[in-house]
Structure 1
Amino acid sequence: MQIKKILTLDLSHKRIFGLDLLRMLAILFVVFSHSASLLPKNVYSFFDLFYFDGVCIFFVLSGFLIGSIIINSVEKNGFNRSELFTFWIRRWFRTLPNYYFFVVILAVLSKLFIKGFPLKGIFPFLFFSQNLFSANDIFFGESWSLSVEEWFYLTIPLILFFCINVLKIKFKKSLLIVSVFLLLFSTFLRYYLYNNGHLPQMIDYRRVVIMRIDNLMYGMIGAYISYYHQEFWTKNKYRLLIIGLSLILVWKVLSYQYPSIESFYYVNIFYPLFCIAILCLLPILSQYNLKKYNIITKATTYVSLISYSLYLIHYSLIKKLLIDNIFSDFFAGETVEALILKNTFYWCASIIGALLIYKYFEIPTMKLRDKIKFK
């Protein structure tokens, strides 16, 4: 009974199920993609047929949600310094405590169990500068996407604040200009670097902040359309759903035809095409709610709620440190039994660990943000 209580989450809060579904799929795609070395190649190849870019989904969804928060706040209260700092505080209490919690845990365990681990190497990770100009795999490799998100949280509201209060451009116009400009800038920067032969010299350009900021801008544009053009957003949701699913199919076919990350398709078309596809799904998903929940829909919401903690815990801690290093002898072997054991531990430890972190650390720290007000 006590265990059941520990593993139970409150699902009574009003939520948009369509967005929970998208968030759940995104995190499951990410966790699955990082399990490649735990699965036989033929098994992974089969499941890979149904795999889609989870981080891209997160970026578009995040841009949409943050854009919606900013729009609703500005349209209601204006955009002064108080609103700017309130936005930052609420975002940072949502993301930073969990992030630094894992940075500390990973740093301590890495120093203890990985021979020659350079503790000084974690310094850029404290300020989200680990992938400003090139990717950094020395530590907490999956945190690159969190860095993209944090720079987005910091810079976009600041740029909008400058446009509104210094340049005196109306918010609605500022939002559209900033979103479209950054989308085009990031897209054409990849194209320019590719054409001039610079991308191969970069350490995994896919994880550099400015190379991926356009992914979030698609979501921002979605937030703009959903608020200022509600009729279009609502009336065309089924048409856009068909377009979005069709684009996903095209994206999947092209991804198999041009798998190299240095190909023209991968650099210039892969991300924009998939982001546009996800954007087209948002009208119907953002309006899809449930009156009653069954075991499947409850599980969907459950995984959605713990998705941030699950992202933080599953790879560097569970996969790389515990399975590949600390308990590598225990998990050694390529027999069927060994593979089942590794995969069972990977998924169960990740999900249960994420749940405990979410329930007993993430929620309490998020509640603190309601106590801080700027005037």
Structure 2
Amino acid sequence: MSFLLTSLLKPRYGVLLAAGLFLVGSTAYRYHYFQGYQPTTWQDWDAHFRKIVLLRLDSLMYGVLAAWIAYYYRDAWLRAKWPLFVVGFVALSLVANPVTLTDLTLFTCVFSFSCASLGVACMLPLLSDWKQAHGLVPSALTHISLISYSLYLLHGTVVNLNIALPLATTLPLPQAIRPLIGLALLWLISMPLATLMYKYFEVPVMALRSRLQ
């Protein structure tokens, strides 16, 4: 759809229209889905709402719209950075509070995803204007941001389920501290593996993409 729209329209308007259609369509579909299926457990919510791609496509479109505004209206994007940051903070606060099973409502199943994505998008103007800093903490944050996608791919199934969790459950330690050991192992194993994956897979692939362009 996005290819068709950008072919028929100027890219400036085709991208905007495609992003808007995906955002509205995915949110409307999520609302319609909720009318026919209302979860009763967090496992149901996780499996039937959070992990369904068609119900979550709008999350990507908030980023596309943010990039569109930053590209075509750079000055306005930066002028509004502090008000938008406040809006983003409020939006994220709405989905950051602890909830219970009684909170599996229309907001949690439909609009909480919109609030999370909108909140992050609204914080981008301020964050994109940050200057480069030096020192241990900025370097660590930069490194984590670079390997974040590799970390996302590895930490769950590969490291947690197959390495950290089996190790933590078999160690001769008190049951109370095994979750802490598992968490420590998760970080200690995931970070170097993600760094290797970024260096020897992501970077070469991105270099190949640049050469093909």
TM tier relative to shorter chain: 0.7 to 0.9
Tell me the secondary structure at the aligned position of residue 293 of structure 1: coil
In structure 2, distance between residues paired with 1:351 and 1:325: 18
Once the two structures are superposed, the pairs formed by residues 169-188 of structure 1 within 5 Å of their partners are 169-188=9-28
Match of 2:59 in 1: 215
Aligned partner of 1:334 in structure 2 is 175
SS of aligned partner of 2:171: coil
* CA deviation profile, 1:139-160 (whole Å, cap 9, x unmatched): xxxxxxxxxxxxxxxxxxxx33
Match of 2:119 among 277, 280, 298: 277
State the distance in 1 between where 2:39 and 2:182 align.
Answer: 36
Give the aligned residue type for 1:241. Answer: F
Q: Which amino acid counterpart does residue 242 of structure 1 have in structure 2?
A: V
Decide whether aligned partners of structure 1 residues 355 and 179 sit closer, same or farther in structure 2, where only a CA change above 3 A counts: same
Q: Which residue of 2 aligns with 1:362?
A: 202
CA deviation string 1:12-60 (max 9, x = no partner)? xxxxxxxxxxxxxxxxxxxxxxxxxxxxxxxxxxxxxxxxxxxxxxxxx
Among 234, 239, 251, the residue aligned to 2:78: 234
Count of aligned residue pairs for this structure pair: 209
Superposed displacement of residue 187, structure 1: 0.6
Cα deviation digits, residues 248-281 of structure 1 (max 9, x gap): 223334xx35656742121122111121111111
- Aligned partner of 1:206 in structure 2 is 50
SS in 1 for 2:175: coil
Q: Which residue of 2 aligns with 1:250?
A: 94
Contact 1:237 1:284 in 2 (8 A): yes
Q: Quote the offset at 1:324 in angstroms.
A: 3.2
Matched, 1:288 2:130: yes
- What is the identity, as a one-letter code, of the residue corresponding to 2:96? K
CA contact (8 A) 2:92 2:119 kept: yes
Instruction: Tell me what 1:302 maps to.
Output: 143
Single out whichever of 199-208 and 226-235 deviates more from structure 2.
199-208
Ranges of 4+ aligned residues in structure 1 off by more than 6 Å = 198-202
Q: CA RMSD in A?
A: 2.6
3-state SS of paired residue (2:37) = coil
Larger helix share, 1 or 2:
2
Superposed counterparts of 1:23-62, under 5 Å: none
Equivalent position amino acid for 1:207 in 2:
K
Bigger relative contact order, structure 1 or 2 (CA pairs below 8 A, ≥6 apart): 1
CA distance in 2, matches of 1:219, 1:332: 45
Alignment check: 8 A CA contact 2:5 2:14 kept:
yes
Cα distance change of structure 1 residues 359 and 205 upon mapping to structure 2, 3 Å threshold: same
> Which residue number corresponds to residue 195 of structure 1?
35
Aligned partner of residue 306 in structure 1, secondary structure: helix
CA drift at 1:207: 0.9
- Equivalent in the alignment of 2:108: 266
SS in structure 1 of the partner of residue 170 of structure 2:
coil
Task: List alignment gaps of at least 5 residues for structure 1.
Answer: 1-158
Unaligned runs of 5+ in 2: none
Residues 156-209 of structure 1 show CA distances to partners (whole Å, capped at 9, x for unaligned) of xxx3332233xx322222111111111111111111121233777894222111
Q: Distance in 1 between matches of 2:58 and 2:114?
A: 8
Q: Structure 1 residue 340: deviation in Å? A: 4.4
Whether the 8 Å CA contact 2:95–2:116 is kept in 1: the answer is: yes
Please, which moves more after superposition, 349-358 or 190-199?
A: 190-199
SS in 1 for 2:30: helix
What's the CA shift for 1:210?
A: 0.9
Q: 2:5: which partner in 1?
A: 163
Counterpart of 1:318, as a letter, is V
